[in-house]
Amino acid sequence: MKLLTIDSREVAGRPGVLLDSGDILDLAVAPTTLSESQWIPQSVISVIAAGDSGYEGVNRLIAAVDSNREKLLSVGALLPYEGTALMTPVRRPGLILIADDQMSATIKSPNTAVGNASAVNLPKSNSDVFGMLPMVAAVLSRPLYKATEAQADEAIAGFTLLADISALRPAVDANIESWRSYTDSKQFPGACPLGPLIVTRDELSDVATRAAKIAINGVEVVAGSLVPEGKTIAEVVADCSQHYGFRPGDVIGVMSSAGAGEEQKVYATDQVSIAYPGLLELEFSLV
């Protein structure tokens, strides 16, 4: 299942699901049109927090689409994916945590998050070059604190893509002021492109071995795994939960210093793509 948030007149957007046909089914409108479900989810978080019953409700609606296509089109419950504006898949996550395989983590403000196809306005800087860390992110479906790896694994509803944009990462032995400046540089509005979808575990069960591709200005610069070597995503989430309390909809980006997770230098005017080809692609531009 591929869940997303449609940009709309409502401040929080509307929950949707991407169908195999390439259409988006608006989950806030479809239940009022179809008799298959009277449950109207208010957000993507309400779907994933409901667990199996939430997914079953969405699947009932999906199963009814073909026989009700004209009716759904007439009320605007079916939208084309191309050209439909999307917000981040979780609208204003309560917590965005960027974790590495060394058990250290940084928090990004929810105000840094922007959706697919966004234009990221880079801040003024002493340098014209910035760093961009591409990563896969786990989206949680339940509260979590001091969890085991098994508990963390059960709490992961699915995965999305994330770009952590900041000043270039300092050398390991850089002074504390350099590291503080680097951490602060992660917090400008737009510093966290996120999305465009949450792909549930059943559709991305091979996240550890699946190759991602990073392209800048249409040129592929690197391909490989976004998952750290020697650690599962659930293990990283469990490690983080020893220090942080999580709620449904929280997002944990998992940093990898190898494969496709290496820091890329980016500049204003660059067009960036992070993709699991055929499944998930996050695109944004820098200005």
pLDDT digits (tens, 9 = 90+) for 234-253: 999 999 999 999 999 999 99
pLDDT at residue 143, as a whole number: 97
pTM of the model: 0.91
Residue (of 129, 214, 124) closest to 167 by Cα position: 129
pLDDT at residue 33, as a whole number: 76
Kindly state the greatest CA–CA separation across the chain: 64
What is the C-alpha separation between 212 and 226, in angstroms, rounded?
Answer: 7
pLDDT at residue 102, as a whole number: 65
pLDDT tens, position by position, 13-51: 999 999 999 999 999 888 877 766 677 888 999 999 999
pLDDT at residue 162, as a whole number: 97
Secondary structure (DSSP) of the chain = -EEEEE--SSTT-EEEEE-TTSEEEETTTHHHH-TT-----SSHHHHHHTTHHHHHHHHHHHHTTGGGHHHHHHTT-EEESTT--B--SSSS-S-EEEE-TTS-EEEE-GGGEE-TTEEE-PPP-SSS-EEEEEEEEEEESS-BSS--HHHHHHHEEEEEEEEEEESPPPPTT--HHHHHHHHHGGGSTTSEEEEEEEEEGGG-TTTTTPPEEEEETTEEEEEE--SPTT--HHHHHHHHHTT--B-TT-EEEE--SSGGGS-EEE-TT-EEEEEETTTEEEEEEE-
- Residues of the chain short of pLDDT 70, as ranges, are 10, 35-37, 101-103
CA distances for 118 relative to 47, 57, 86, 225, angstroms: 25, 31, 9, 24
